[in-house]
Amino acid sequence: MSEKDDQGYRLATLAIRAGYTRTHEGEHSEAIFPTSSFVFNSAAQAAARFAETEKGNIYSRFTNPTVRCFEERLAAMEGGDVCVGTASGMSAILALCMALLKAGDHVVCSESVFGTTIGLLTRYLGKFGVETTYVRLDDLDAWRNARKPNTKLFFLETPSNPLSAIADMKAIADIAHERGIVFAVDNCFCTPALQKPFLFGADVIIHSATKFLDGQGRCMGGAIVGGGDVASRELVGKDVWNFLRTCGPSMSPFNAWVFLKGLETLELRMHAHSNAALQLATWLEHQANVKKVHYAGLNSHPQHALAAKQQKGFGGIIALEVEGGREGAWRFVDATKLMSITANLGDVKTTLTHPATTTHARITKEERERAGIVDGLLRISVGLEDLADIEADILRGLAAVKDTVEIK
């Protein structure tokens, strides 16, 4: 199904067929083009390709048919017009920032983002004169009051990593657009299967394809998707793409092909992850030695109604606080036998992470506290194993927490 045929199909169809045009070989599955460069018919054609007066492939750092298929498919699924694939989710954020910002510019970012995002904005972009102000995700006045004449970007995750805080995207988009500020949403936790940020005013959508888009923990990749307005298309299709062409944080053709296979089952998986996570979160609320469960699907979540309005499901990520602080959390982790102790998420295998000493370890204690990352917090990315087996593994962990509390 070529790009011009994508309009009108529903998500499950787009996830399987969008963006691909068969080669002359007539293959049914998408082809992989593992080549560094492409051959021209003549010197004139080579010159025309480099001058961008003729469309076509040049060099796989910035033009590759397999990567392009992934880009067009993801753009179609998000309801966007253009997409640039990158080597990782963090390189997608970097590419957006490098394309949009310059020394002296200002960014407003949610406090509740992935720890490495804070590191990128504060430590690295800060070295080159880009200032970042961090605000509470749910405090609309804070977003409004943080704006400066030089503010160029609003950036947030919703749901947030790992506490599943929810942003009112439409309200924040309106605040950004009053001043012509670009509004970027990281849609990693929901994916287009559960949430469409463009419908709520986002200008740009960021993805770590490494997570749910792949779904099986096989490859690294990221993406920046631009919306339908001229400014968004120019930002992503021209400025971000030129950064990629020049600096090369590129997605490999093989990884793009793997992500294409992941997209084919994305909607099925995301609803299965969501259903399992909701059951597990509800069960966890009634377990001893669990201080708090963070999951937007719970009626106890302060933004449950907003999540239900913006999302088709609540996703597969649960955060829970256990008794005993770091010692209790570490004993929980060490007592488990089924869940994979790893920093990745979005896998068919359930994964378990202690954010304070892993994903958020490289930011300061003050930054962790501001983001709500306490020592007793654990993140579970709920996989597709039998739910009873996951619960049994959690009970092993909670038994170890109980022992910790009793010793103290």
The pLDDT tens digits along the chain (408 residues) read 654 455 689 999 999 999 999 999 999 999 999 999 999 999 999 999 999 999 999 999 999 999 999 999 999 999 999 999 999 999 999 999 999 999 999 999 999 998 899 999 999 999 999 999 999 999 999 999 999 999 999 999 999 999 999 999 999 999 999 999 999 999 999 999 999 999 999 999 999 999 999 999 999 999 999 998 999 999 999 999 999 999 999 999 999 999 999 999 999 999 999 999 999 999 999 999 999 999 999 999 999 999 999 999 999 999 999 999 999 999 999 999 999 999 999 999 999 999 999 989 888 888 888 888 999 999 999 999 999 999 999 999 999 998 776 665
Give the separation between CA 105 and CA 242, rounded to whole angstroms: 20
Q: Which residues contact 24 (CB under 8 A, 6 or more apart)?
A: none
Per-residue DSSP letter, 62: T
C-alpha span between 356 and 136 (Å, rounded): 19
How far apart (Å, rounded) are the C-alpha atoms in residues 382 and 158?
A: 18
Are the C-beta atoms of residues 359 and 250 closer than 8 Å to each other?
A: no
Q: Give yes or no for a contact between 366 and 374, defined as CB atoms under 8 angstroms apart.
A: no
For 290-398, where are the E strands, in sequence order?
290-294, 317-322, 340-341, 351-353, 377-381
The CATH number of domain 266-407, selected from 3.50.30.30, 3.90.1150.10, 3.40.50.1220, 3.40.50.720: 3.90.1150.10
Q: Where in the chain is the domain with CATH 3.40.640.10?
A: 11-264
24 vs 230: CA distance, rounded Å: 34
| pTM given for the model | 0.95
Residue 157 forms beta bridges with which residues?
A: 186
Distance CA(50)–CA(56), nearest Å, equals: 9
Give the C-alpha separation, 169 to 149, whole Å.
22
Specify the DSSP class assigned to residue 59.
B
**What are the start and end residues of each CATH 3.90.1150.10 domain in the chain?**
266-407
Those residues whose C-beta lies under 8 Å from the C-beta of residue 150, and which sit 6 or more positions away, are: 104, 105, 106
Q: Confirm if 360 and 368 have CB atoms less than 8 A apart.
A: yes
CATH architecture of residue range(s) 11-264: 3-Layer(aba) Sandwich (3.40)
